[in-house]
Structure 1
């Protein structure tokens, strides 16, 4: 059994760790509220914009000359992996990295797969195994629509140049503070809905000046909104995952501290008992 000083040091160390994890939990809880409000408010707009674009694109029947709606033979695939810059958030980053690796090794095993990473943690791991064309860490320093638009424009440029035939996003979808689901989402080319599904919905729209021009205008805006929504989703998921992880860490630290205190009290009691026995034994020896 460890001596009393070692146990006291461990109790102090666990207590300090407990204070840190508790503080991190509160910070993430405060940031989560703002991030959750942002993604909750944005989702209906982003989903409706994507639905509108897909519906109109499907009804064009080949009229559109947009390169972003062109369906090519898939030879080169770009996976955009969205993680975080910091750890201590449970399996948040690990799940995205695993899914990204699975896409490269299984789903697109017969294709040339490259990566673009958003977040330091994903780049650190994926960069050792795969070819990463670009890493975007600074976007989380100032997460705005304008900054994300720069990344979108880069993706649109490399796709229009024919460097890649397909671009997919991998990120954590935010459900609640305790639940984040890894989601794989097609980014380019734009996937139109089935024509029969779009006919009924297109009947409700009056197009001015015409469908082609509307689609050409909607595509950049829709892609920018889609990527911004995905990063926002991941951002809210990160704080939810970190808050949950730090809550569990704080509880575990509390349990460990209680066990150490019990061990300390037992050791102290044993030490006192031994001292009493020694005193009594010494007194009896003197009497004899």
Structure 2
């Protein structure tokens, strides 16, 4: 059984840890509110932009061709892995690592075996993990410190330029989608080439006469790159909100575990203290009896 000093030291250590996890939970909750507001505002805009793009693409048919919609034999692949800059968020980052590894072993097994699978790591954790396993495209380790569209646009343009140049035949994003504080879902989405949106079967089609200003081709060539950048930015915002939700949940659980451990340590401390007192009393009684017997 541990002595009283060791138990007291452990109690002090656990109490300090509990205070830290409480503070981290509060910080994550404050950041989550802002991140959640950002993604809730972004979702309608991204959905509406994709809807407009789908309508115009369906209207144009084969009249307008985009360099981002060219379908080629998939020989070279770029996977954009989106994680956080910091840890202590439960399985948030490891789930992305597992999803990318599953892609490399199943869907892109041939490309990975021939060294034609490249990773763009957004977030320091992804940079550290995948950087040890091969070369990375770009360096986006600290985008979440001052998260903005301009930073993400740079990453999107680099991926889009690589696709146009033929360096990559397919670009796929892997990230955590925010559902609620306790739920984050891994999403694997193809960014390039463009995939036509599926129209629901129960929605009737309508013929709309659009007036284009400037030309239809100019609008499509502007709208498509903007839509791709918005898609990546939305994925980063989803990951940012998911990170704070995962960290808040993890720190809440850690605080509860620290509380349970404190109860056990205090019980152990009281038992140890009681045993020490009992031992001292027995020693005193035994010594008194020995003195009485020697007289």
| TM-score bracket for this pair, using the shorter chain length | over 0.9
C-alpha distance in structure 1 between counterparts of 2:206 and 2:197, whole Å: 12
SS in structure 2 opposite 1:140?
coil
Q: 2:267 maps to which residue? A: 262
C-alpha distance in structure 2 between counterparts of 1:27 and 1:248, whole Å: 15
C-alpha distance in structure 2 between counterparts of 1:196 and 1:10, whole Å: 60
Cα distance change of structure 1 residues 49 and 25 upon mapping to structure 2, 3 Å threshold: same
Deviation at 1:172, TM superposition (A): 0.2
CA contact (8 A) 1:59 1:195 kept: no
Which runs of structure 1 show a deviation greater than 6 angstroms over 4 or more consecutive aligned residues? none
Q: Which deviates more from structure 2 when the two are superposed, residues 254-263 or residues 133-142? A: 133-142
Q: Which deviates more from structure 2 when the two are superposed, residues 51-60 or residues 102-111? A: 51-60
Residue 110 (structure 1) aligned with residue 144 (structure 2): no
Q: 2:221 maps to which residue? A: 216
Q: Deviations over 1:113-172 (max 9, x none)?
A: 110000111121122224322230132121111221121111111111111011011000
C-alpha distance in structure 1 between counterparts of 2:21 and 2:200, whole Å: 54
Deviation at 1:194, TM superposition (A): 4.9
Deviation at 1:223, TM superposition (A): 1.0
Deviation at 1:75, TM superposition (A): 1.1
Which of 168, 174, 197 is matched with 2:172 structurally? Answer: 168
Deviation at 1:201, TM superposition (A): 5.2
CA contact (8 A) 1:54 1:190 kept: no
Pairs within 5 Å for 1:60-209? 60-111=60-111, 112-194=116-198, 203-204=207-208, 206-209=210-213
Q: Which deviates more from structure 2 when the two are superposed, residues 103-112 or residues 12-21? A: 103-112
Cα distance change of structure 1 residues 103 and 205 upon mapping to structure 2, 3 Å threshold: farther
C-alpha distance in structure 2 between counterparts of 1:194 and 1:39, whole Å: 24
Residue 275 (structure 1) aligned with residue 276 (structure 2): no
> Aligned residue pairs: how many?
288
Cα distance change of structure 1 residues 58 and 76 upon mapping to structure 2, 3 Å threshold: farther
SS in structure 1 opposite 2:212?
coil
CA contact (8 A) 1:58 1:193 kept: no
CA contact (8 A) 1:39 1:236 kept: yes
- Tell me the TM-score normalised to structure 2 length: 0.92
Structure 2 regions of 5+ residues with no counterpart? none
C-alpha distance in structure 1 between counterparts of 2:208 and 2:24, whole Å: 50
CA contact (8 A) 1:80 1:118 kept: yes
Deviation at 1:204, TM superposition (A): 4.1
Q: CA RMSD in A?
A: 1.9
- Tell me the TM-score normalised to structure 1 length: 0.95
CA contact (8 A) 2:118 2:135 kept: yes
